[in-house]
Amino acid sequence: MKLALATAIAAFDLDDDLEPLRVACEKAGIDTSVVAWDDMTVSWARFDAVLLRSPWDYVERLPEFLAWCERTAKQAALWNPPDVVRWNTDKRYLGDLARQGLPVIESHFLAPGDDPATLPDLEEFVVKPTVGAGSRDAQRYLRADRPAAIAHAKRLLDQARHVLVQPYLRAVDEQGETALLFFEGQFSHAIRKAPLLKRGEDPTSALFKAESITARQPSATELDVANRVLAALPFDTLAYARVDLLPSDTGPQLLELELTEPSVFLPYGEGAAARFAAVLAARLAR
């Protein structure tokens, strides 16, 4: 049973889950290699499966990454599979989920060619690209900053990127964000992430913004929302999934669904690495 844990040349040494997962996989009897998705010398056919771990530079090269996923999935099992990755790497999926009646943060979308001045009039809001990760190009604005927000949206639209505008959910400032981790559809553990967007602060230029993480017990409502979101997906049970929720007056709301390259925060979940490895070993044995 040969498994590749796929990172990126640009992300080597940045993925805190890689080493605990590799060790747990070896313990579970899996022959495990860490490889970069963009390393042209790798022959993917020599693996039984490839797990997307930290291909964190795909945002700037999405068509190339999606083509690589399709190619690789013909040579080995790819987790998660290419159709999931294609759907999940563009936050326009939030619109699909909202239409199904799930509690998604109010989301407005602008497409290239749209007038950036039509962005919704909200008291405090976030402008971000629909294809994005690590908080890059995401910024928080007050109504009074509207000209700057329009300029930000215009910059993204001019780069042929779709734009997502959401109200800023202020409860995150006290309660933080909750990320719930699932392996093979089963809840494993959760973490709290401190708020990332400060008023008046420019977006990060790093591969991802530094995050402050602690272990967290999710509430029954958070668990319920996360389970409902996963149950609504048009895919078979996924090897891994992360559901990110923000608190609000009306209960937890979906911020994003990470089915491609999530940090799974193994160091914060007792037994989490072993649970993930067991899921992978069972899949490899199928």
Ligand X SMILES: Nc1ncnc2c1ncn2[C@@H]1O[C@H](COP(=O)(O)OP(=O)(O)O)[C@@H](O)[C@H]1O
**Interface with ligand X (CB under 6 A):** 105, 126, 128, 132-135, 138, 166, 168-169, 172, 177, 193, 195-197, 244, 246, 255-256
CB of 116 to ligand X, least distance (A): 18
Relative to beta strand 2-7, strand 31-36 is parallel
Q: Which residues have CB under 8 Å from 234's CB, separation 6+? A: none
Measured between alpha carbons, how far is 175 from 195 in angstroms, rounded to an integer? 8
What is the smallest separation between the CB atom of 86 and ligand X, expressed in angstroms?
A: 16
CB of 24 to ligand X, least distance (A): 25
Give the CB-nearest residue to ligand X: 196
Measured between alpha carbons, how far is 22 from 280 in angstroms, rounded to an integer? 11
Q: What is the DSSP letter of 214?
A: E
Q: Which residue has tokens 């908080």?
A: 135
Q: How many other β-carbons are positioned within 10 Å of the β-carbon of residue 111?
A: 12
Residue 51 or 105 with smaller CB distance to ligand X:
105
The tokens describing 92, both together, are 């326009």
Minimum distance from CB of 106 to ligand X (Å)? 8
Measured from the CB atom, is 15 or 256 closer to ligand X? 256
Shorter beta-carbon distance to ligand X: residue 22 or 128: 128
Amino acid 219 reads: S
Shortest separation between residue 248's beta carbon and ligand X, angstroms? 9
Whichever of 28 and 191 has its CB closer to ligand X, that residue is: 191
Do 17 and 272 form a contact (C-beta atoms < 8 A)?
A: no
Nearer of residues 32 and 54 to ligand X, judged by Cβ: 54
